[in-house]
Structure 1
Amino acid sequence: MRSSPIQGVNDRQPITTLRRSALLAIALVMLSGCSFSDLKPQAEMLQPSEVNDTLANSGIKLSEAAWPTVNWWSSFKDPQLDTLINEALNNSPTLRAAAARVHQASALEAIQGAQLLPDVSAAMSVTRERFSSNGTTPAPAKGTWQNVHQGTLNVGYELDFWGKNRSSVEAAVGRRRALEVDERAASLILSSSIVQTYIGLQNVYEQIDVAQALLNQQEQIEDLTKKRFAAELGTEIDIKQSQASLPASRANIAALKESIELNQNKLASLLGKGPDRGRTITRPKLQASDTIVMPSNIPAELIGHRPDVVAQRWRVEASGHEIEVAKARFYPNVNLTAFIGLQSLAFDTFNDHSSRILGIAPAISLPIFEGGRLRGNLDAQDAAYDLAVENYNQTVVDALRDIADQLSSLRWLKERMAQQNEAVATAVAAADLVNKRYAAGLATYLQVLATQNATLAEKRQLVDLQSRAISLQANLSRALGGGYRPEMSVTAITNSTVANKS
């Protein structure tokens, strides 16, 4: 039985055609490589060795093991704070949104990864068709209506000679990893916000203590003034002056209590809960550390401990692979498609061996004239890489400044605390002396009022400095990355991104 033209194709013809296609592709590659050799990224990543290590001159003890732990807030030894942060990390809508972005990026990465695998599909069809009487269809089918039964298994595969698909996958991986680190950065921002708000809440409670102590003293002086008036040692003016200060002190305490509720509301919001959750938060019991230890080699290791820096490095990595994708578009696309199946006009002969059909179709396509679109695309990717690099460099510079700011404030805070403690002691001693003189009738109430105001101001300042000490410790932990550790060495990223400069 004589086979049809499709069935009679020489088995060596597809191989010969593929070889010819490969030779043609090599020749075309030689021509394509010269069309973009002048386009390169311009930005260079900041290296740790280029950063002047002045952070070691902060006067703070250095240690190689001084990077924050994952639960860095536990150093304040407040169980309620630990509970709040753990609750927030499990319930925050912000973190769930960040996790959703990571999930989305993972799905896009899977889509890109599918390009590396063959595309296999199956098709089955029954077509009612009238064949031409003057066409290639032989009798008895020509000029008649027939049912064409066909089933095929189809395979398509792009031969990724130039790494376009692989680079697309690597770019997707970089974007996904950047979002994963962004999720860690969001966790750090959230925990830092809770800690700072919690510190503010403790500060308000301590300010109330100062204000309440002043109010108690004012009430005692009012009682003393009345006794002095009864003993004809004072006047009604003194009584009115002593009474006038009481409403102002009570109003100040009321304002501070309002601040407590506002801070509780803010904490509840950070937890992803309603205001009622905030009302259950009791007075903080934070403890500041007596000693602060700083890592010994911050610039060299910071790029692996700050999540925002690591995320920017992954974005540089992704941009570098996008450049490779843009370069690969200048080269020929080599695709291979094939099919095998059965075709018959009659259903009863559909499964016969003679009804088999098969084919293979290697294809090469090369852009010859596209109006500069490919060069423009590569130039845009180079610019995107430059932008990613400069964003990374700025993030590193900002991170170092952030750390330096905390260290500078910590260095001078110790002296400020010493001076403020002395100022409070002096103000308290002066107030006690004036109160005794007033009780003895040797001082006026205006002198009492002046020393009270001075003592209140100095005590408030001391409370603020004590809160600032805790706040700076928390800020230093945040600035050092909050216990973040990358899952892979940043050296691997550096090696791949440097390659784009060549």
Structure 2
Amino acid sequence: MTSFPASIGVRLGTIAAAVAALVLAGCANYAGIHSDKQMTQPAALESTQSLPSEGGQWPSLGWAGEFGDPQLPQLIDEALTGNPSIAQAQARIAKAQSYIESARSDLLPKVNGSYSVTRELLSGNGLYPPPFGGNWFTEHNALASASWDLDLWGKNRERVKASLSQEKAAEADMQEARITLASSVARTYNQLAQLYALRDIAAREIRNRQEVGTITNGRVSAGLDTNVEKQTALGNIATSQATLSDLDGQIKSVRYQLAALLGKGPDRGLQIAEPALATGGNVALPSNLPADLVSRRPDIVAARWQIEAALANVKEAKAEFFPDINLAAAIGLDAFGWAHFLTAASRTVQAGPAIHLPIFDAGALRAQLKGRYADFDLDVANYNQTLINAMSDVATQVASIRSIDTEMSDAQRALDASTEAYRLAVIRYKAGLSPQLQVLTADSNRLAAEQTVTNLKMKRRDLQFALIRALGGGFDAQATGVAAPAAAGAQAASTPSAG
């Protein structure tokens, strides 16, 4: 065993003590900087009355095929393939993956090589005396170097964790973009169906008013009505025709909107056939909805991964307070003239550790750590708000659907009654037993009732699409590989620093 002189041992002990003291001082520098923010747990949000357990199923990925119109899932698939928003989300994932590769590279040793040739004239009155001074020389230099950051405090590892979390968040964001796009296509398609249904009503109304106009003409000829009733009938027919033209214009506009959602030009919208959507079935909420919603909504999953990334960034910032130790070595050749370049005497070798220790940085590291904690607080608040909004979204859609179901029965009874009233009014008018005004009043009531029932049916289906979207649209974090870790992991950042 090699022994060192006592003086060298004393000096080494003094250096070690100084380094230890500086390390402890660096650790103490972030004392008092912490966060008290907590992630909201679904159970803490009261929802048993608004979101009762009804034994229903979560939406499947093929939910669009459950509405009986094969064109709808085809349009959604086309949109998911061609819409630029999906390409944007995929680009964000690729960018996040590049950050992971960059962060991982800091965990491994790095090796570099260089070679240079310098032609230089040495001064005759400078450092080098004749025969070197005053002559031209060619210097060859080749160097191979290697360095390795030991990452004793995990700074680089935390950077990798942050990048991995950002990638997961980007993947969840892409799923969110897909679900949002699919829902937008379905709801716009339902709007197209609604306009077609209203157009059918308007077309029937034209025929009804033309029938009334024919009766009016006969009554005018018989002297039972005047030109006033005749012009009124003609005006009503023209009004219905104007409504039909307006609906045709709206249909074309919605077709163009669908084409844009598909990522195609407006002509693609003109090729879409008239919708043939079936009426949606009963609505039953899944069991354990609040707790399972956090893994069924991609926006909640993405917000959760953002917290994980922020937590890793906090730990990375804390590691900045400790010393960095970098091992470096280099070997090469350096000589004037090619003849001596490849000889053993031209070798250069250097090796040794490099230690970087923050001693006084005017508060820069503390400011950086405070900023990272602020990011963490922001991400926790965003997660909590996203969770609250998600539960409110589901409750709102369900309440609206139940309200329409109740309203629908009354509206249908009103339509049945007004339809019968109109039929009787036409018979009496034709028989000369009642005036035209009674027919027109009955017709207006029947038309409004029919439009109300149609709009309620379409609104209910639109709300069903919105509810499917609120329940995650078939997304499952476990199945897609983006499930976030348990919430307890993020609470570590909320405890005060111990250093």
TM-score by length of 2: 0.90
Contact 2:321 2:365 in 1 (8 A): yes
Secondary structure at the aligned position of 2:118 is classed as: strand
Structure 1 partner of 2:460: 469
Q: CA deviation at 1:346?
A: 4.0
Structure 2 partner of 1:404: 395
Structure 2 partner of 1:448: 439
**Given the alignment, which residue of 37, 40, 56 partners 2:34?**
40
Counterpart Cα distance in 1 of 2:211 and 2:162: 73
Classify 1:126/1:239 alpha carbon distance in 2 versus 1 (closer, same or farther; 3 Å).
Answer: closer
Alignment of 1:80-479 (within 5 A): 80-128=71-119, 146-479=137-470
Secondary structure at the aligned position of 1:429 is classed as: helix
Contact 1:56 1:62 in 2 (8 A): no
Q: CA deviation at 1:343?
A: 2.8
Q: CA deviation at 1:183?
A: 1.5
The residue identity in structure 1 corresponding to 2:36 is: Q
Spell out, residue by residue over 1:293-344, the C-alpha distance to the aligned partner (whole angstroms, 9 max, x if none). 3211111111111111111111111111111111111111111111122233
Secondary structure at the aligned position of 2:141 is classed as: strand
The residue identity in structure 1 corresponding to 2:28 is: C
Secondary structure at the aligned position of 1:117 is classed as: coil
Classify 1:18/1:84 alpha carbon distance in 2 versus 1 (closer, same or farther; 3 Å).
Answer: farther
Q: CA deviation at 1:395?
A: 0.5
Q: Which moved more, 1:449-458 or 1:114-123?
A: 114-123
Q: CA deviation at 1:48?
A: 2.1
Q: CA deviation at 1:56?
A: 6.2
Classify 1:85/1:19 alpha carbon distance in 2 versus 1 (closer, same or farther; 3 Å).
Answer: farther
Secondary structure at the aligned position of 1:294 is classed as: coil
Q: CA deviation at 1:23?
A: 7.5
**Given the alignment, which residue of 475, 480, 485 partners 1:492?**
485
Segments of structure 1 that go 5 or more residues without pairing to the other structure are 1-16
Counterpart Cα distance in 2 of 1:312 and 1:198: 30
Q: CA deviation at 1:144?
A: 6.3
Spell out, residue by residue over 1:111-154, the C-alpha distance to the aligned partner (whole angstroms, 9 max, x if none). 22211111111111233456789999899868865433222211
Secondary structure at the aligned position of 1:125 is classed as: strand
Spell out, residue by residue over 1:371-406, the C-alpha distance to the aligned partner (whole angstroms, 9 max, x if none). 111111111111110011001100000000000001
Contact 1:32 1:330 in 2 (8 A): yes
Spell out, residue by residue over 1:67-100, the C-alpha distance to the aligned partner (whole angstroms, 9 max, x if none). 1112322211211111111111111112212222
Secondary structure at the aligned position of 1:295 is classed as: coil
Contact 2:168 2:482 in 1 (8 A): no
Contact 1:313 1:493 in 2 (8 A): no
Q: CA deviation at 1:24?
A: 6.1
Q: CA deviation at 1:187?
A: 1.4
Contact 2:301 2:484 in 1 (8 A): no
Contact 2:55 2:286 in 1 (8 A): yes
Counterpart Cα distance in 1 of 2:483 and 2:128: 66
Classify 1:87/1:488 alpha carbon distance in 2 versus 1 (closer, same or farther; 3 Å).
Answer: closer
The residue identity in structure 1 corresponding to 2:55 is: L
Secondary structure at the aligned position of 2:485 is classed as: helix
Q: CA deviation at 1:289?
A: 2.6
Secondary structure at the aligned position of 1:303 is classed as: helix
Spell out, residue by residue over 1:165-184, the C-alpha distance to the aligned partner (whole angstroms, 9 max, x if none). 11112112222221221111
Classify 1:120/1:496 alpha carbon distance in 2 versus 1 (closer, same or farther; 3 Å).
Answer: farther
Alignment length (residue pairs): 483
Structure 1 partner of 2:3: none
Counterpart Cα distance in 2 of 1:186 and 1:23: 56
What RMSD, in angstroms, separates the aligned Cα atoms of the two structures?
Answer: 2.5
Contact 1:55 1:298 in 2 (8 A): no
Q: CA deviation at 1:198?
A: 0.6
Classify 1:84/1:19 alpha carbon distance in 2 versus 1 (closer, same or farther; 3 Å).
Answer: farther
Structure 2 partner of 1:75: 66
Contact 2:325 2:355 in 1 (8 A): yes
Structure 1 partner of 2:46: 52
TM-score by length of 1: 0.90
Counterpart Cα distance in 1 of 2:197 and 2:295: 38
Classify 1:501/1:132 alpha carbon distance in 2 versus 1 (closer, same or farther; 3 Å).
Answer: farther
Structure 2 partner of 1:29: 23
